Structure 1
Amino acid sequence: MKLTARDQQIFSAVMSLYCNGEGHPVASSKIAKQKGMAVCSATVRNAMARLEREGLLYSPHTSAGRVPTDSGLKYWLDEYFALAQIANYWQPEQNQLIEFAHNLSQKFNVCCCVGLPQASSQLVFRVEVLAFDSSSWLVLLIDRAGQSQNICINKPKDDSDQHRYLFAAWMNTVFSQQTLIEGLHRMRAMAHSAPENCREQLAQWTRELHHQLGTDNSIVVGERYLYQGLDIETELNIGVSFLHQVEDKLAFKNGLSVVLGTELSTLNVKQSVVLSVPYFQKGEYQSRFCVICPSNAPIEAIITQFSQITPLGA
């Protein structure tokens, strides 16, 4: 799309005035009064008419100012911001993810949906097996920092402290210094060396561990702001399925990306925007951090928050 320098300047002014948290239609007179504009209202009106013909702006009703179309919003974000260079190869700790989500939500009244780090990449330091209740053992898969994945499994028929200790010793041989996903593969490959009384249920335990460790998880912060800002009453499907759709839409795209709500069946809300950044641990992709907001939210200010994230190797 080819815009003149003047039309670009006026379009940028419209977007900045509209995306300020209020979302009022922008009048030509207001643009003309902007510092550094040096054009009259008639010139601005003509430019707005051209931008409307290009499909970037529209007038919600007669004699109103202009607001961006979905195409205009996408064009503004893609063309006016170097999104791909922002938060490139972000590698936060989990507590940083959650803190950043809460800070953004409270500061800008937006909703954040964050995929939690994949448990399968956690490196196991030791394994403990505890007697949990009358029917279950509790398996603790602990990393060097003392963080653990805790999973209940059914006790074997021949249950005793000695058998539990033998199973714990075998699990340490299998998982020690391995990632969780590799440990699960080794459980299958080394099944023949497991304590005899445990072999009957080993396949079941492996399935249980694989299912629970492979379960995706997410946190959602500030969901009420989304309902208030978009004035909707039907429940939105925000969570793991939402993140999967964003991932499918933005596969292999690094840095900050934008998706419109209408492009996602889990959201499908007009005049909504998703700003999304993938994050990594030890160079491996983990999940995405998403900000979901109305198109009139202070998007420039939110982008500034992401631009302050130090890229890998900087």
Structure 2
Amino acid sequence: MANENDASRASAARAQTLSDLNERSREIFRQIVENYLASGEPLGSRNISRLLSVSLSPASVRNVMADLEHAGLIYAPHTSAGRLPTESGLRFFVDAMLEIGDLDRTERERIEVEMRAAAMEQNFEGALAQASAMLSGLSRGAGVVATTKQDAPLKHIEFVRLDPARALVVLVSEDGSVENRLLDLPPGLPASALVEAGNFLNARIRGKTLGDIKHEAQAMRETMEQELDALTARLIEAGVAMPAQSGEARHLIVRGQANLLEDLKAIEDLERIRLLFDDLETQTDVVELLTRTEHGEGVRIFIGSENKLFSLSGSSLIAAPFHDPQQKLVGVLGVIGPTRLNYARIVPMVDYTARVLSRIIKEGR
């Protein structure tokens, strides 16, 4: 609740700032932000005065810039007399002034065709990897996709004995993905019990997720007591109830980190990218951030130190969830890059890709 209250207060403060800015101040602020998003460079008063639609002297522009700086929307880097937007300024711009573009027909068709081709030629996992790579290529950032593996409908389960005390539970999903889990065996379990357990489950699991099967455990127990011996029933209950191994409950795909090395402006940028690479290696933190996008519909934007993951590298994430036909969350996809990402272009790109993935899931491809 505290975070929601903080966000509400911040939103109210940005709205107040917007109402306090006159048209001239908004235009000067817009020029500074759009120049930063396009070039990464600070913009000075003389250049701003040339860009404005109304005649305004550099001295008058500097007075407005001083007010914007006092409001915490822009700052002067030590290397230049020009100004750059602060993270608060970027957030204000994104929330109050950003004009979201739209994908043209060619871009929409490319996303649709490439995603469906990957889903048909490979599997759903291939479509996810393609989504990550495609977003990276279109945005020049890093494409990321996080999914909950246990949500995939199951196709086949097999118990493979490793030694007298252990077996491997092999879970094959309808999307072609495979997950292995290690299971301790009851003492004295015959080899035939592994086959019987697999046959029993495979007759009942088709199209169901592991979560569905866990919820039906009580009804299955009554059937097992009638059809199976006690040791085989214990094996099935243990195989269904066991949790995913560490790191397997969430699956993270990252593509295009090399894009982030392009167009560096200074040594400081190289250090920022190095820190971002370290962030991306910490998959748990990336997944945690992506998970915050699951609650609600549409695209979410995280800028710089608004989240602990990017507090050092000063990066941004644009992300959107995708769902199954029952509107159950399947995963989240997005783009990570420097705070000067082209938000107006990437927001509709991420949104449309998430919608295509949701349609592919609905159609069972």
TM-score normalised by length of structure 1 = 0.78
Q: Are 2:24 and 1:6 aligned? A: yes
Deviations 1:224-244 (A, max 9, x none): 555774624553264233332
In the other structure, the counterpart of 2:309 is 266
Deviations 1:198-231 (A, max 9, x none): 24444543343x3249722212223455577462
d(CA) in 1 for partners of 2:177, 2:354: 26
* Cα drift, residue 304 of structure 1: 4.8
Task: Indicate how the Cα distance of structure 1 residues 17 and 119 shifts in structure 2: closer, same or farther if over 3 A, else same.
Answer: same
In the other structure, the counterpart of 2:216 is 186
- Which has a greater percent of helix? 2
**Aligned counterpart for 1:219 among listed residues 228, 243, 253:** 253
Code of the residue aligned with 1:129 in structure 2: it is E
CA contact (8 A) 1:124 1:175 kept: yes
Task: Indicate how the Cα distance of structure 1 residues 145 and 270 shifts in structure 2: closer, same or farther if over 3 A, else same.
Answer: closer
d(CA) in 2 for partners of 1:246, 1:216: 11
Partner of 1:240, secondary structure, is helix
In the other structure, the counterpart of 1:120 is 150
Code of the residue aligned with 2:141 in structure 1: it is V
In the other structure, the counterpart of 2:96 is 79
Partner of 2:310, secondary structure, is coil
In the other structure, the counterpart of 2:74 is 57
Partner of 1:182, secondary structure, is helix
Structure 2: where are the runs of 5+ without partners?
1-16, 104-111, 116-123, 360-365
Structure 1: where are the runs of 5+ without partners?
none
Partner of 1:291, secondary structure, is strand
Task: Indicate how the Cα distance of structure 1 residues 259 and 163 shifts in structure 2: closer, same or farther if over 3 A, else same.
Answer: same
* Cα drift, residue 259 of structure 1: 1.5
Task: Indicate how the Cα distance of structure 1 residues 175 and 100 shifts in structure 2: closer, same or farther if over 3 A, else same.
Answer: closer
CA contact (8 A) 1:274 1:290 kept: yes
Which aligned segments of 4 or more residues in structure 1 are displaced greater than 6 angstroms? none
RMSD: 3.6
Code of the residue aligned with 2:40 in structure 1: it is G
Task: Indicate how the Cα distance of structure 1 residues 310 and 293 shifts in structure 2: closer, same or farther if over 3 A, else same.
Answer: closer
What is the 5 A alignment of 1:286-305?
A: 286-305=330-349
In the other structure, the counterpart of 2:37 is 19
Give the % identical residues: 21
What is the 5 A alignment of 1:1-314?
A: 1=17, 2=19, 3-20=21-38, 22-34=39-51, 37-42=53-58, 43-61=60-78, 64-81=81-98, 94-116=125-147, 118-125=148-155, 127-129=156-158, 131=160, 133-134=162-163, 137-144=167-174, 148-154=178-184, 157-158=187-188, 162-187=192-217, 190-191=220-221, 193=224, 194-208=228-242, 210-212=243-245, 215-223=249-257, 229=269, 231-232=271-272, 233-234=274-275, 235-236=278-279, 238-248=282-292, 250=293, 252-269=295-312, 271-282=314-325, 283-306=327-350, 308-309=352-353, 311=355
Give the number of equivalent residue pairs: 303
